[in-house]
Amino acid sequence: MLRVALTGPESTGKTTLSRALAHHYHTAWAPEYARQYLEERGPNYTLADLEEIARGQLDAEASATATASRMGKPLVFFDTDLLVIKIWAEHAFGQCPEWIRRQMEGQRYDLVLLLNVDLPWEPDPLREHPNHRQYFYELYQRELRDQFANFAEISGTPAQRLDAACFHVDALLGRSSGVVESLATPQSGPAL
């Protein structure tokens, strides 16, 4: 099973793109657990809350992976990852729980899509730092490089982001990009 995570700062379109990718490839995706958690409990959180969010995210990933497997699909998408929680914990509390760090070391993704901050900020009661997105983007970029992660930076309009993401996912799957193919010949049937 190929595992593709979307990561990056707030309001960069991770949910929209992960949902669109799952639809395009007719497979499962795990939504961002933090949103559900904070919508139920309110926007204030502690380090212990971030640990619960990390556990919930891992459960969501396991569930989406099982669903994709039952569907007979070769890949699954994750709207966010533990890197988001690590960066958030370090920013908000000056530390990240050691078990999250260990989990990140043992849990690799086949591809990580790092979403750039070139989309307009969309206000949301759960979002906190509209003026620090570039700062956070550089943190994500550095972390992914330090991990030697297979990652691609995704920019542009939502349509351009989907095209770019599909290009990288198709490369991961070992086939030509559906975007290029669609220019040459009409496509029929599902992508997978």
> How far from 181 is each of 17, 163, 176, 184, CA to CA, in Å?
21, 12, 7, 5
Question: Which pLDDT belongs to residue 127?
Answer: 57
- DSSP string for residues in 14-33: HHHHHHHHHHHTT--EE--H
183 pLDDT exceeds 90? Answer: no
157 pLDDT exceeds 50? Answer: yes
Question: Which pLDDT belongs to residue 154?
Answer: 98
SS3 of 73, please? Answer: coil
Residue count of the chain: 192
Supply the mean pLDDT for the chain. Answer: 88
Query: Residue 177 — φ and ψ, nearest 5°?
Result: -65, 135
| Domain 2-178 listed as CATH 3.40.50.300 | yes
190 pLDDT exceeds 70? Answer: no
The pLDDT tens digits for 76-114 are 999 999 999 999 999 999 999 999 999 999 888 999 999
> How far from 161 is each of 30, 167, 190, CA to CA, in Å?
19, 10, 20
Of the candidate ranges 28-42, 114-128, 161-175, 177-191, the one whose mean pLDDT is the lowest = 177-191
Question: Which pLDDT belongs to residue 181?
Answer: 37
125 pLDDT exceeds 60? Answer: no
Q: What is the pTM of this model?
A: 0.87
Structural tokens at position 6: 């979307």
The whole-angstrom separation of Cα 54 and Cα 62 is: 12
